[in-house]
Amino acid sequence: MCPEYYVPYFFIDGLYTLKKIASAFDIELPQKVPAQKDTKERLMYYMELCKIFKVFRDNHGLSPAELWAFLFDLAPEYVKDNDDFPLPEAEQAWFIGGDKEVFTDPIYWGIKQDVKRGDIVVFYEMAPFKKLSAVCRALTDGALEPFFQWYSCALIGNRIDVPPITLDELRKDEYFGNNSFVKRNFQGMSKCPMSVDDYNRLVELFRIKGYQGELPMLYAPQNINDVEINCEQDVSDKLLIPRLEEMGWKYGTDFMAEVKFPAGRGYTGHEMKKRADFALHLTGNEKDRGAKVIIEVKEHMANVNLIEESFHQGLSYAKFADAELLVTCDKFQLRFYEKTKRGKFDINHYRRYRWSDLNNLDKFHEIKNLLDR
Q: Is the pLDDT of residue 56 over 60?
A: yes
63: pLDDT strictly greater than 90: yes
- 67 and 100 co-located in one domain: no
Q: Give dist(CA 285, CA 261) in Å, integer.
A: 10
Query: What is the average pLDDT across 148-159?
Result: 85
- Show the domain range for 249: 232-371
Kindly indicate the confidence band of residue 271, based on its pLDDT and cuts at 50, 70 and 90.
Answer: very low
- Give the percent of the chain with pLDDT over 70: 93
- 142 and 271 in a single domain? The answer is no
Whether residue 100 sits in one domain with residue 65? no
pLDDT reported for residue 265: 41
CATH number, domain of 140, equals 3.10.590.10
Q: What pLDDT is stored for residue 303 in this prediction?
A: 79
**Per-residue pLDDT averaged across 238-263, rounded?**
90
The rounded distance, in Å, linking the Cα atoms of 290 and 287 is 10
133 and 188 within one domain: yes
Neighbours of 173 (CB within 10 A): 17
Whether residues 239 and 365 fall in one domain? yes
pLDDT value, residue 266: 41
What pLDDT was estimated at residue 83?
Answer: 47
Q: What is the pLDDT of residue 247?
A: 92
**Span 56-68, average pLDDT:** 93
Pairing, β 325-329 against β 290-297? parallel
Q: In terms of domains, do 286 and 358 share one?
A: yes
Please answer whether residues 251 and 259 qualify as being in contact, where contact means their C-beta atoms are separated by less than 8 angstroms: no
pLDDT value of residue 269: 35
Query: Based on the domain organization, do 59 and 99 belong to the same domain?
Result: no
356 vs 38: CA distance, rounded Å? 41
Domain assignment present for 280: yes
**Least confident among 4-13, 53-62, 248-257, 288-297:** 4-13
- For residue 338, the model assigns a pLDDT of 93
pLDDT-derived band at 222 (thresholds 50, 70, 90) equals: low
pLDDT of residue 293: 96
- Mean predicted confidence (pLDDT) in 248-267: 79
Q: Are residues 204 and 273 in the same domain?
A: no
How much is the mean pLDDT over the chain? 86
Contact 330, 298 (CB under 8 A): yes
Give the three-class secondary structure for 170: helix
Which pLDDT score, from 0 to 100, does residue 22 have? 87
Cα–Cα distance, 102 to 320 (Å, whole number): 46
What integer is the mean pLDDT of 154-177?
93
Domain boundary among 78, 108, 128: 78
224 is a domain residue: no
Question: Is pLDDT above 70 for 78?
Answer: yes
How many domains does the structure of the chain reveal?
3
